[in-house]
A and B are shown apart, each in its own frame.
Chain A
Amino acid sequence: MASEVSTFTTPIADAPLARRFSPAWRLALLAAGGLVGVLGLTLAVSWVMGVGSWGVNIPFVWGFDLTNYAWWIGIANGASLFAAILVLRRHSLRTAVNRFAEAVALSGAICAGLFPIIHLGRPWLFYWVFPYPATYEVWPQFRSTLTWDLWGILTHIIVLGLLWYVGLIPDFATMRDRARSSRRQRIYGILALGWRNSVRHWSYHQTAYRLVAVLVLPLLTMMQSIVALEFATTLVPDWHETRLPLHFVATGLAQGLAIVLLVAALLRWGLSLEQHIDDRDLDLLGKLVLASALVAGYLMLDEVAAAYLSEPSEWTATRNRITGEYAGYFLAALVFSVVVPQLLWFRAARVSVLAAAYVGVSVSLGVWFDRFSIVIGGAQRDYLPSMWRSYAPTLVETGLLVGTVGLFAALLLLFVRFVPAVSMFETRHDEHEDRA
């Protein structure tokens, strides 16, 4: 059966099975690895010296840490929502991109998961957030959004991991069958969980895959909402808004889609997978990014309008966010995540790899600026003017951001190296359907 379709899936399986990889890949991994080194260094500094090595202060007790966290969560969320919908709707596009989408989501979640731990004053005690039976019977505060956040991010990583892994099982089996060395055979064999390609296996697999995909859906709104609630439940005037979860979900979706678009474009270009990620796929993705950017734009305008109509302290805070010291970040958010995607109104831009990459990076940057604008700009004007201050990140914080980007890139590079980047069984399925 495998031999029949080898013409279609061989390039996909070839990549993980190749003994050597292209110099470009090696170079890219080297660069990403360097950034992972920066991440390691900055993590070590933060751990040993404390968060005092960052620019955080009172009242900006959170700076880059939560900005980056919310941003990475957005990437993970958008990508996983996309992947889940594809699986559930059995959309033709899923063949091409849902494996990347899953990988993007998982890598994003891993990058995000670093921040809640390293941002603690005493990170080695992070496990105190777990409800374990401590000697003094002190339990976590279940009313705290940070406790919810712990469960949120844990669930997120587990479910995304499952989604990604369950989807991979048949392909791991293919890899096992095609592996040239016994060591690889054994590793892929273990990962394939004894997959024998029986109809019963296929039936169970489909059920499990779709079940996990369904689980992803509520998780998405939940995860972004929890991050948003960490801000919205406080008394900080600019944060204390019921609209904030919606804002986080919607902008996060735009960001996630943009990242998927970016990765799809890069894969198509880098691994020559034009056959699998065709113009129609890019076109569809582009339309989705454009639509979600429009929603994000609407929400940003809505925020200004809502703040204008609310209490003076809230209007002062929001006005300061838009026009004050950090106004540039709000403006950048608007331009990068709403204005730039308008390019995608043109079909030429939608099917262009370059434009896709450009818009993907732009939206993602824009959402980072949006998170910064909320976390920092939003906290600048609270109740007592005597404590109004400014925040500026240090090298260590910047290193953490750059380092997680490196980690993200490295994870994706390793993904395309060792795991089939496009779902082989789905591709085969498509091919069979086409022939029939």
Chain B
Amino acid sequence: MAAHSPRPESSPDDIAWEGAPRLWRSLEECAEAPDVRGRFAAEFPEAVQGWTIDRRNCLRLMAASLALAGVGCDRNRGGVGAPLFSQPRGTPGHTPGMPLFFATSLELDGYGRGVLVKTQDGRPIKIEGNPLHPASLGATDPFLQAEVLSLYDPSRSPGPTEGGEARDWNTVGPFLWALRDDFVASEGRGLAVLMQPVASPTRDRLTTALRAMLPEARWHSFAPITDHNRRAGAELAFGRAVEPIYDLTSADVILTLGGDLFASEPGHLRYAADYQARRRAAPRPLPRLIAVESTPSLVGSRADERIALRPRDMEWFARGLAAAFGVSVAAPGETHSAVPRLAAQLRRAGSRGIVSAGREQPAAVHALAYAINDRIGAAGSTVRLIEPLRPGGDELASMRALSEVIARGEVFRLLILGGNPAYDAPADLDFAELIRRVPLSVHLGYGRNETAAACRWHIPQCHALEAFGDLRAFDGTVGLCQPATARLAPSLSIDELLGALVAEGTDGRALLAKAWRGAWGDHDFEGRFMRAVEEGVVSDTASPSVDVSVRTDWDQGPRPSDGKGSIDIVFAPDASMWDGRYASNGWLQELPKPLTKQVWGNAALISPDTAERQKLRTGDVIEIAADGRTIAAPVWVLPGQAPDTLTLPLGYGRSMAGALGSGIGFDGYRLRGSREPWMTAGEIRSIGRREALVTTQQHHSMHGRAIVRTVPAESQSLPAPPPQPSLYPEWPYEGHAWGMAIDLDACIGCNACVIACQAENNVAVVGPEQVARGREMHWLRVDRYYAARPEDPRTYFQPVPCMHCENAPCEVVCPVNATVHSSEGLNDMVYNRCIGTRTCSNNCPYKVRRFNFLDYQSAAYAASDEVMNPQVTVRDRGVMEKCTYCVQRIAAARIEAGIENRRVKDGEIVTACQQACPTQAIVFGDVNDPASRVRELKRSARNYALLGELNTRPRTSYLARIEAPPEEGRG
């Protein structure tokens, strides 16, 4: 080495000398050697010639570029595609293709209901109940299920408007700042703010801050489904406002005075669940549920005893009942014949009794209910009283006051944050016109609705699934809201707009965190906050009971009857539209209402004998006159409706609810006054016109067939079915054998399962014309049957999914083998193979098969592509479809179990209908598993197969409903 003097900057070439071994430092370098190159060229001649562009290479490059173009253009990256905030539930981290669950709360009636939002690659596609949330316990109602479709509402506001002209978002900021400066300068003089009362601590904090900033501003709150009577009743009875919470798990006798404890009262999901838990609490004797009501309700349908009373008689009935308990009421007079019997039952129940009053009942009925609860000892036991959660006082008075000041010209600036008062405010106020009189009105709303049209400015509000916030449940428990998706359109939440006005910015998360930092302090705040967001519930925030006592001298006696009309009129939130906010939601429009099974419209409900007397049939249009206003509406003859009583479901007749929701049904608000928003009286007359009402069920009697079976409470068992002969040997199922049991004793007919199934399985919305033809697509329907007299019917609900018959009649008749049996006993539908002979439906005695008569999924009413569950095929025209037992969920669980090398556990697979059910009426599982719940239920003496006599051997079986023994003295 010394003979050569290597230079420090030597390169490999420099040290190569003749005959020396060639040194190389990399494979590339080695390959450059001439000998290697020669060998390489011999082996791969094309590579040495270089990359020539020939036809193949050209095509190859084109294909690769196209593929890469697709890969690169993920507009969702960093936005919708990634979890936004919380640690996602279910899977650690985000595995693409795996769903994520976000806990949040959704509002109805001002209260929060906890949900888990299932998102797939950034798209919310399904909503489930949050098991940790007291108002849900994991269950949902149709509104919660359908909220995810509203998120993708094509009629949601695309951007701000001023005077009806579209405005750029860039103009909104300066406008808001100018507005704010203007407000601050005038201390809010001439400003009126109208909001819906919502139990939200963050919103309370922001409004308090804004009110402090603008002392001269007027604050008003209004929601059409007002709970004012409940509060006024408490003020009568206790001298202060409280809200009642019922504990149905320990109740023995429940008497409801109007309302619907299972469908529309705050906490209804929880009440339904608790009531069923109480029924299942053997060996305690079954509880007794008594419904006194004017309009048939879910609670009335489930009740052991139901008394139909005209609205004007409800107070008289309550007074009689209260008098039976020695509550000093003025002038009880003659009482209803059932009162002594019911009073005796309540007295026996003592502190395990409940008397509840519905929101439409006058304040006196609420006060009487409070007093009776107090007298029997239920207060503090089954009935808890808490501080009122919904802010604001008398909403109607507030609305009247606002109208007056606008009419007097004292309002120059009107902020309407959420809601739709131009549509749903009482008719006597003519609020839409009043809005137009205000020089500057600003509306924050999800859609460009009636109020948006009346206001000068409209600013798009974001969807609840896009915003932070918090909501209190009916019992006070706080649930935190978080977005489950990035905003699908630029928009603001109410909190964010308020935040902007109080100069706290429009960061929803910061606004929320600030409220809770105030409550929790700085110590470990982020950790605590994150946990609360992840769980969706802030633990230990349920309202404590308040200690109040019933006053003795509260009763001023019954209000004199003004006798202004012979027909009592009751307004009610609609079972599908609620207050009208869901008008553009196709799932809810096409959801058969629990009792009438009407879709795509509403009708004035009237009792059979009144209809007969007035010579009215379902579909006849009547003119309803009350308080100097008239509207026209078609009637619906509803068994069980109180005589001479007209119930007007609200929420229809929207004029600006998008292409899908406008102009459907009649608008009951046009008759509703601000003095008596729930009950009034008037006259009706037929105007000799008929309207075609769309319903999914046209026959209401079981015709003496054993379809919904009942068992007496004592024996609770059905006779064993006769054995069915068969020429074929029993087919052995060696692995899993999936089955379902539906407890008809638990089903309240709430429809949550129907929408849950629709959301999970991409079931098409077909529109009113198609439903009228009998082509609705619901895989799961809830049949409703009546028994006994039309005036006083027994109402039975029966959810009917596919029965997955072991001897499936549909399978043998399909000429192309498009419906076949799986090895686990499922009756599978192979969409690709189906040619649409429809003969399977002919041979299905349950008629659960649904056919795509037209291309529904790309027709006018079709749901947005974004809401589709990617795990479920979207069916094409000409293909039969039906319930699959949520086979995608079965497959997912099977894969999961396979990865973990174990059998699928019982309870691991929950079908969509089962998951939504508040009363756990639906149980799915492996009937081969000796320990499974479904097997246990199928062994019950109440278990029976629907149409079992046909020897179809359905895998879905029913548990007979338990009928209470008739109480003594009941005629």
Contact = CB atoms under 8 A, between A and B. Distances in A.
Interface of A: 49-62, 119-123, 125-126, 128-129, 138-141, 143-147, 149-150, 230, 233-236, 312-313, 316, 379, 382-390
B852 interface: yes
Nearest to A65: B838
29 contacts: A53-B854, A54-B853, A58-B851, A59-B842, A60-B774, A61-B851, A62-B838, A121-B834, A121-B838, A121-B852, A123-B835, A125-B835, A138-B816, A140-B815, A141-B815, A144-B814, A150-B815, A233-B843, A312-B704, A383-B845, A383-B947, A383-B950, A384-B846, A385-B703, A385-B705, A386-B781, A386-B783, A386-B784, A387-B697
A121 B845 contact: no
B809 A140 contact: no
Contacts of A150: 815
B847 A382 contact: yes
B880 interface: yes
B877 A50 contact: yes
B837 interface: yes
Nearest to A234: B843
A386 B699 contact: yes
Contact of A59 (B785, B800, B834, B841): B841
Given A58-B847, A385-B785, A386-B697, A120 B853 contact: no
B375 interface: no
Contacts of A62: 838, 842
Contacts of B817: 138-141
Contact of B838 (A61, A129, A312, A386): A61
The interface centre, meaning the residue of A58, A139, A147 with most chain B CB atoms within 10 A of its CB, is A58
Contact of A122 (B785, B845, B879): B879
A61 B842 contact: yes
B855 interface: yes
Nearest to A387: B847
A137 B785 CA distance: 46
Contacts of B703: 316, 385
B699 A388 contact: yes
A379 B842 contact: yes
What range describes how many residues of B lie at the interface?
35 or more
A144 B853 contact: no
Nearest to B811: A141
**Chain B residues touching A, majority SS:** loop
Contacts of B855: 50
Contacts of A390: 698
B813 A383 contact: no
Interface string B901-921: 000000000000000000000
B812 A143 contact: yes
B37 interface: no
A316 B798 CA distance: 22
Given A140-B817, A146-B839, 19 more contacts: A50-B877, A56-B838, A57-B774, A57-B775, A57-B853, A62-B838, A120-B836, A141-B811, A141-B812, A143-B812, A234-B839, A234-B843, A382-B845, A382-B847, A384-B846, A384-B947, A385-B701, A386-B781, A388-B698
Contact of A234 (B699, B809, B879): B809
Q: Which 6 A-B pairs have the closest CB atoms?
A: A121-B836, A121-B878, A52-B854, A52-B853, A57-B774, A61-B838
B403 to A, nearest CB: 47
A383 B814 CA distance: 21
A140 B773 contact: no
Contacts of B773: 55, 57
B810 to A, nearest CB: 10
A233 B813 contact: yes
Contacts of A387: 697, 847
B839 A235 contact: no
A316 B836 CA distance: 29
A121 to B, nearest CB: 2
A234 B816 contact: no
A160 to B, nearest CB: 23
Contacts of A389: 698, 774
A122 B698 contact: no
Given A58-B841, A384-B846, A122 B699 contact: no
Contacts of A138: 816-817, 833
Nearest to A146: B815
B836 to A, nearest CB: 2
B842 A56 contact: no
Nearest to A388: B699
B877 A383 contact: no
B933 interface: no
Contact of B845 (A60, A119, A126, A384): A384
A51 B836 contact: yes
Interface in B686-733: 697-705, 707
Interface in B1-28: none
B877 A61 contact: no
Contacts of B947: 383-384
B879 A121 contact: yes
A49 B847 CA distance: 24
A123 B835 CA distance: 7
A141 B855 CA distance: 27
Nearest to A313: B705
Interface string B634-648: 000000000000000
B487 interface: no
A126 B835 contact: yes
A126 B836 CA distance: 9
Interface in B302-354: none
B849 interface: yes
Nearest to A117: B835
B850 interface: yes
Contacts of A120: 835-837, 878
Nearest to A54: B853
Given A150-B815, A383-B705, A384-B783, A234 B835 contact: no
Contacts of A51: 836, 853, 878
B809 A50 contact: no
Contacts of B879: 121-122
Given A50-B877, A387-B847, A145 B813 contact: yes
Contact of B854 (A50, A139, A385, A388): A50
Given A52-B853, A146-B815, A147-B815, A383 B841 contact: no
A265 B556 CA distance: 94
B809 A235 contact: yes
The interface centre, meaning the residue of B701, B704, B947 with most chain A CB atoms within 10 A of its CB, is B947
Contact of A129 (B698, B707, B815, B876): B815
